[in-house]
Structure formats: C-alpha cells, structure tokens
Amino acid sequence: MCHAAHGERPRFLVVTAFDSRYEVGFLCSVVNEAYCQQHGHRFRRVLLSPEDMAKLAGGRHLAWAKVALLRNLLRGRGYDGSASGDFEEDFDYLVWIDADALVLDHSVRLEDFLELPVPAMDFIIGEDMADTDLLNTGLMFFRRSQWCRELLRRWWEESDPKWHQEVCWDQTGLCRLLRQDGFGREEPWYSWAGGARYKNWKGHIFTVDLGLLQEVDCGSFNFKYLNNCGFVFHAVGERELLLSGTRNLLLKRDRLYMAVRDGFVLHGGDASTCPSEALGLLPAAEVPEAKVNLERAQQFWRCFGLSKTKKLQPPPFGWELQCLSHAWNGRPVPNKDKPCGEEDVGSRLALEKRKLRT
C-alpha cells in the first residue's frame, strides 16, 4: 500500500478518458493538463478509438469505461487490464475527472480537499445536486489502498445490471451499491436541503486504515452550473441539464467553450503536450485527425484561457438555478447579475477546516 510519508506532499495522478470522436474531451483535457502542470501533478488522457472505448466498457454504456479503467490502474495494470502497466506507479491518489469537466479555478490545490476534515481518506467525491443520486462520479479521488481496489471491484462486478444501460449508469450503480451497505441514510441527505456539508462514512475495513468516504458540497467541488462552480465545472449532457429545470439550455460544447472564451477559467497557465504520449493509444489511421483536434484545443486555450484573474461577465440567465449549495455561510443564492465564485475557494476551504477543528 502506497502512502505519502508524514509531512510529505501527496502525489496525484489525474486521469481522464474519451474517444477520438468526442470533441469537448480535447478542450477539457488541455485545460486540465494545464492545471496539473501548474501544480506538478501527473496527468494522463486515455484517448481511445470508439471501438476500444466500447471494448473497455465491456458492452455497457460508455460511462462504465471509467470504472474499468480506474480498477485496472489501481491494480497496477494497463488501462485495458493488460499485465504490463503503462502508467506511472508513484502516486498516492488517483484522481478521475470526466471528459466533459474542466477545472475553473487553477489556484485551488488538490491537497486542500485531502485536509477536510480527517487525513488519509480513501474516497473523496461530491454529492449529486440533481437529487436523483446521492453522489456525482464526475470527479473522484481514490487513495491507493486495498479499500479502494475492493470498492472498484464491487462497483464493476456487483452493481445492478439494470444500470449498465439506464441513466445514470455507473453513477447510479455506485450509489445503489453503497446504499445497500447503509451509506446515505442520513435525513436530510443533501446539503442544499439542510444536510451536513461534510459527511464521513465508515466503510468496509479491508486494511489497517479505516475506509472513509469524504463527501464535499458539490458547489465547491464539482458542479454543473457555471456561475456556482468553485473548482470543477461539469457540463452534464443536454438531457440531464434539461431535467434539472434550467430555463436556458445550451449545448454541452457551447457551455464548455464559453467557459474558456468568456473568462470563467481563472489563474490558468500554458500546457505542453507530448503528442506521442497523448495519441499513443490510437490506431495509426485516427492519429492525424486527433492531432488536429488536440492542436485546435491548445490554440483555443492559449488564445482565451491564460492568466485570467477575474470573471469577465455573468453566464446566461438560467445557469444560476438549482444552486442552493451556495446559500451556506449565510450568503444569499447568487443571481444572474452577481455571479458567485469571486471569493478564493482555497480560503473558503481553510475556513471550513478551522470550523471543523473547533
């Protein structure tokens, strides 16, 4: 089992995956790679052909591919489960970010989430703000532990087959599985409905360390409304966004490109990408087009995304709906004329940590 020594900085491997037809994956991966390079984290985009992505998902909806991938990586294997691992093994935490999600505030540290409120947590994840699931699997931290390996094994092998094809696929599969173990039975559960903002849950004990699940308020971790994101903007699909009650529906691509173009990504730096590494898993016939898409995403990021320190304008009306997570600390729910997120998220996390210690 791999742990950072006391006082040492934890080592992160940040991973995303998408197939060569998924345009927004190129932009999001460039933004997230820039974040990782700025903070000294390892970053890997698993860019596959559509056929290889479907194979990785094992006949299930493609969203399940990430469960197979994460399980393989935490077992020290290649992305596809091959015996010869093709990823570095010197990490303490494996961080997953969906291919339609990007870091908005590049000054926020991954370490900040590890320090809330107890050390050495196995699994860090945000609650789901759509109130259809307990958790949202668009951003997750996995400690390199036996507890997490077992969680991923059960997630893949024991989830109800119903969710192999039905919405919300892997996410609902995980939530229903954990609920069988007694997780998420607090009333109320959601922070925006009066539940606790931080929830520690004792899981199965498979190692000396106690398996803990740290749940973080979605607004400060991983959220679908641009003007309420403290860390990661997760541009859920049009169907999911429509079901959430928004009055202004923009396509996923438009929302992500607007986030970069209109200055919502803060404190971003440049990113250098090694083409052979980024495109190395693709069949040779798909490499030229994927290389062009990657270069276009890099150019867009360099033109619009670098060194912004203040948001330029509020997002379209409607994106502030369903944002009750930002009513905490006595502050009003933001509106279209006053977008939230101006306050440094690291400062908010530090404040929360002080509260938890007192």
pLDDT tens-place string over residues 214-241: 555 556 788 887 777 789 999 987 665 5
Residue 248 confidence (pLDDT): 61
Over range 162-189, report the average pLDDT: 91
How many whole angstroms separate alpha carbon 210 and alpha carbon 203?
A: 7
Asked if residue 48 has pLDDT above 60, the reply is: yes
How many whole angstroms separate alpha carbon 340 and alpha carbon 289?
A: 38
Residue 182 confidence (pLDDT): 87
Contacts of 350 (CB under 8 A, 6+ apart): 112
> Contact, 294 vs 279, CB < 8 A?
yes
* 44 or 311: which leads in pLDDT: 44
The CATH code that applies to domain 12-357 is 3.90.550.10
Residue 271 confidence (pLDDT): 85
Residue 133 confidence (pLDDT): 87
Nearest to 66 by CA among 100, 113, 109: 100
Residue 351 confidence (pLDDT): 56
Question: For 143-169, what is each residue's pLDDT tens digit?
Answer: 999 999 999 999 999 999 999 999 899
Over range 62-73, report the average pLDDT: 97
Question: For 13-42, what is each residue's pLDDT tens digit?
Answer: 999 999 999 999 999 999 999 999 999 999
Nearest to 62 by CA among 76, 48, 83, 78: 48
Asked if residue 202 has pLDDT above 70, the reply is: no
**Mean pLDDT, the chain, integer:** 79
Distance between first and last Cα of the chain = 32
Residue 109 confidence (pLDDT): 92
